Amino acid sequence: MALGALLGPLYGGGFWVALRQLAAVYYLAGFVLHYVAPRMFPVRTVQVAQPRKGQVAWEATYSIGALLVKAGVWTIVEQLYASGRSKLYTGWPPTAQQAGYMVLSIVALDYLHDAWFYWTHRLLHWKPLYRHIHAMHHQSTAPTPFAGYSFHVVEAVIVFANEVLVCFLFPIHLGLHRVYHLFTTIIHEGGHAGYEIAPFIPSVESLVALLLLGRRPCAALNTVRHHDMHHRYPPYHFSLYMTHWDRWCGTEHPKYRSDVSQHFMEADSSSKAAAAGAAAARQSSRDPSTPMQPAAAPAPSRATVAWFGPRPAAGIRAGPLAKPWCIQAAAGSSHSSSPGSSDAAAAAAAGAARHSPAAAAMAAAHPPPLMKPEGASNILPIRELNEFRRGVGLCIYRRDGLVFAARRLDDPQGSWQMPQGGIDPLENPMRAALRELHEETSIQSARIVASIDHWLEYTFPTRVREPGSILKYRGQTQKWFLLEFSGSDDEIDIAGCSHPEFSEFGWRPLDSLPAGVVHFKQGVYSQVAAHFGPEIARRCGAAVRMRA
């Protein structure tokens, strides 16, 4: 009763009642989808990046304008009913015939809402409107549920205008109108959640598909991935509920179908493996004399395995040491290792290499390939949200093959390391590398010549909170670049930046740096040495031959 008094009547209460209802549903649903559900259920992300620092806060703030507009639209709808200028009606409870009509009207609203959303969405991608209005929404390249209404007030007027127009098309119960559009508020948030809630966006049509198809995706209905791909590829995927407009108009991304099929195929395999493990555990608990046997993992299909380096030689067992070269697609839950399932094997092998000379030797003998800057992969692997801070690492070498290293000011043990730094919001990793190069060393005479294809990461001994942030990071995930230095030491100024990080610098052999860096970075430095060491030797040898 207290909640009902706070939120007011379902309709007829005016602007402030409508705004209270909207805000309560919007922010509560966003909180549940972003903070509660991923920690209670084994969700699997569909995103290839993670939300930026402070993104939830500014998305929630930007949503206030859209909520004000939508509350105003509902007030107009109430006035239309009061003045008798629309086809809205009231009365409760409905007869069986009226209830059947309401279900049909929901289907009609779904179709009209989807059509309106598709064509107005394409209009908002017209260059003048996109630049001044819709670009605000696309600041969220890896959206959170609070991006649902995080858009310009002009866009809100365009998007919500259909809620007025439908009042003149066919009879709609005034209460149904309010409940339906409260539910679409949750739909907008769920479509930005970053993980699949069901095989499709919830609607009457999806309920029918769920009864007929079970957990299999339906080609006619959108998934969360559908709109999430729109944030990565803006020229594609403009619809909300259904896929037919995008298919008919050629705006469906070519990889969408295969990605959806693979996602749910892997989810099904993961569920079966988990069920097998649970069954084995139950059997073991019933019969203590029987040792527990680990459940056999499903054999990865050809579509879920990609080799990024030389395969193990014949006779070598593909165990943990071979895992860095076999990156398996994500098939785990929110409890998977920090880099996500796509590179969990690489992270496990990197940890093993820190403690095993044999593993380190194997990593040095078979490093994953270098990738030139023109084709460098700058996409962050799938991982748990807000767990690892994005950054870049810089391996700077000169013509004699030695590498730049500097002593940290904030480390009482005086450890030496190569320059590194964070990536700013919307910043390309390569640009971040050049910015950090100048900020930390003042070097100008250097160019990027190569990069490591995948991201490397390390875990802090304890979670670290950055100044001005509410997030506590488990560690860093870094994109490493190799830079060729062609200048002299005179241009290096480690004390001239606004926030000096080093007390002195020098040039050292790359393979000596892992032993001198702080212990929790040694695994990453071993991988960097294994990747860049041969490349530096090759380049310096070629330079010597050219001079000769």
User: What DSSP letter does each residue of 251-318 carry, written as one string?
Assistant: -S-TTHHHHHHHHHHHHHHHHHHHHHHHHHHHHHHH-TTSPP-PPPPPPPPGGGEEE-SPPPPTT---
Q: Is 474 within a domain?
A: yes
Count of all residues that appear for the chain in the document: 548
Do 248 and 393 lie in one domain? The reply is: no
* Other CB atoms within 10 A of residue 434 CB: 19
At 85-116, the pLDDT tens digits run 999 999 888 899 999 999 999 999 999 999 99
Taking Cα atoms as reference points, which of 268, 265, 289, 293 lies closest to residue 279?
Answer: 293
Q: Domain with 439 in it: what CATH number?
A: 3.90.79.10
Of 253, 288, 308, the residue at which a domain comes to its end is 253
Q: Is 380 within a domain?
A: no
Residue 548, pLDDT score: 60
Of 235, 253, 271, the residue at which a domain comes to its end is 253
Of 197, 228, 253, the residue at which a domain comes to its end is 253
At 383-397, the pLDDT tens digits run 434 578 889 999 999
Q: What percent of the chain has pLDDT over 90?
A: 46
Q: Is 334 within a domain?
A: no
Average pLDDT over residues 165-180: 95
Return mean pLDDT, the chain: 78
At 255-281, the pLDDT tens digits run 898 888 888 877 666 656 655 655 655
Asked if 418 and 396 touch (Cβ cutoff 8 Å), the reply is yes
Q: Is 306 within a domain?
A: no
Q: Is 87 within a domain?
A: yes
Q: Is 374 within a domain?
A: no
State the Cα–Cα distance between residues 286 and 277, nearest whole angstrom: 14
Q: How many domains does the chain fold into?
A: 2
Do 57 and 206 lie in one domain? The reply is: yes
**pTM exceeds 0.85:** no
| Residue 79, domain extent | 1-253
Q: Is 310 within a domain?
A: no
How do beta strands 472-485 and 446-452 pair? antiparallel
